[in-house]
Amino acid sequence: MSNTSNGKMADGLPQVVRRDERQCVTLTFNGRERSAYCEPRDLLSDFIRHELGATGTHVGCEHGVCGACTVHVGGVAARSCLMLAVQAQGQRIDTVEGLAPDMVLGDLQEAFQRHHALQCGFCTAGILMSCADYLQRVPDPSEAQVRDMLSGHLCRCTGYTPIVAAVLDVAARRRHRNVTGDALEASHA
Ligand code: FES
Ligand code: FES
């Protein structure tokens, strides 16, 4: 029997992968194409940290509960401890490092700084990634909606009030910027 390019044997059965067999995963990581090797059992969270060297993504529970490992998969927030690294093949994966390209903080990060919305920072990368995704979809959230979104994240030391304040603040500033930008455009039309 011979292998085919779709990972199946010539008889149509899936190709058997040995437990310790390393596979090459190629993905778009924070806007750049990257390739690295992993075992079939490796979690995406460990792959990001150990193989791609991006340690901003933290790992807490490894059971999908704490939210610390949240990244974007194809632009949508997802827990990287609940995905296998091999599932990232061909995908676009963004992490907290991607929020500050060229080491310049984004507006969400600046709002967290302004509102003292972090202390130890262990949960912060995951919370930022969830907030970034959420604000794309819900640009004018209520406090209750923000609290509901944050309920998927465990923070053991900051308390949620300053985090909620930071998210509401950045949402308001973005809306204001959009309105001002639209008005400026209209005045130049
Ligand atoms: S480490 Fe992934 S949800 Fe806790
Ligand atoms: S800032 Fe310490 S766990 Fe959230």
CATH number of the domain residue 166 falls in = 1.10.150.120
The verdict on 47 and 82 lying in the same domain is yes
Q: Is 66 in the pocket of ligand 1 (CB under 6 A)?
A: yes
Ligand 1 mean position to 43 CA, how many Å? 11
Task: Output the six-digit token pair for 12.
Answer: 């149509």
Is residue 55 located within the same domain as residue 85?
A: yes
Q: How far apart are CA 54 and CA 126, in angstroms?
A: 13
User: Residue 164 is which amino acid?
Assistant: V
83: helix, strand or coil: coil
With a 6 A CB cut-off, is 69 part of the ligand 1 pocket? Answer: yes
Predicted local confidence at residue 149, as pLDDT: 98
Range of the domain at 53: 10-99
Question: What pLDDT, on the 0 to 100 scale, is given for residue 167?
Answer: 98
Measured distance CA(98)–CA(21) in Å, rounded: 30
**Does the beta carbon of 162 sit less than 6 angstroms from any atom of ligand 2?**
no
CA separation for the pair 84, 187 (Å, rounded): 51
Contact 168, 146 (CB under 8 A): yes
Task: Based on the fold, state whether residues 111 and 167 are members of the same structural domain.
Answer: yes
What's the pLDDT at 101? 84
Last residue of some domain: 75, 99, 123?
Answer: 99
Q: From 99, 120, 148, give the residue that closes a domain.
A: 99
Question: What is the number of the ligand closest to the CA of 65?
Answer: 1
Token reading at 114: 């302004």
For the whole prediction, is pTM greater than 0.85?
yes
- Domain-located, residue 189: yes
C-alpha distances in Å from residue 163, one per residue of 31, 104, 121: 27, 20, 12
Of residues 21, 49, 25, 27, the one with CA closest to residue 37: 25
- When divided into structural domains, the chain yields a total of 2
Q: How many Cα atoms sit within 13 Å of 12 on the Cβ side?
A: 0
Residues 93 and 131 grouped into a single domain: no
| pLDDT tens for the chain, residues 1 to 189 | 344 445 555 666 666 666 678 999 999 999 999 999 999 999 999 999 999 999 999 999 999 999 999 999 999 999 999 999 999 999 999 999 999 988 899 999 999 999 999 999 999 999 999 999 999 999 999 999 999 999 999 999 999 999 999 999 999 999 999 888 777 777 776
What was the pLDDT predicted at 185?
A: 75
CB 154 less than 6 A from any atom of ligand 2: no
Q: How far apart are CA 62 and CA 121, in angstroms?
A: 18
| Cβ atoms < 10 Å from Cβ of 78 | 19
Mutational test site, ligand 1, from 44, 81, 156, max ligand atoms within 8 Å of CB: 81
Residues 47 and 15 in one domain: yes
131/85 same-domain check: no
Cα-Cα end-to-end distance for the chain: 68
Say if ligand 1 is within 6 A of residue 123 CB. Answer: no
Q: Which residue, 128, 138, 27, is CA-closest to 87?
A: 27
Residue where one domain finishes, among candidates 83, 99, 115: 99
Residues 139 and 124 in one domain: yes
Shared domain for 79 and 127, answered yes or no, is: no
Q: 115 and 180 share a domain?
A: yes
Ligand 2 atom 4 nearest Cα: 155
- Let me know whether 173 and 109 are in one domain: yes
Cβ count within 10 A of residue 84: 17
Q: Indicate if ligand 1 lies below 6 Å from the C-beta of 59.
A: yes
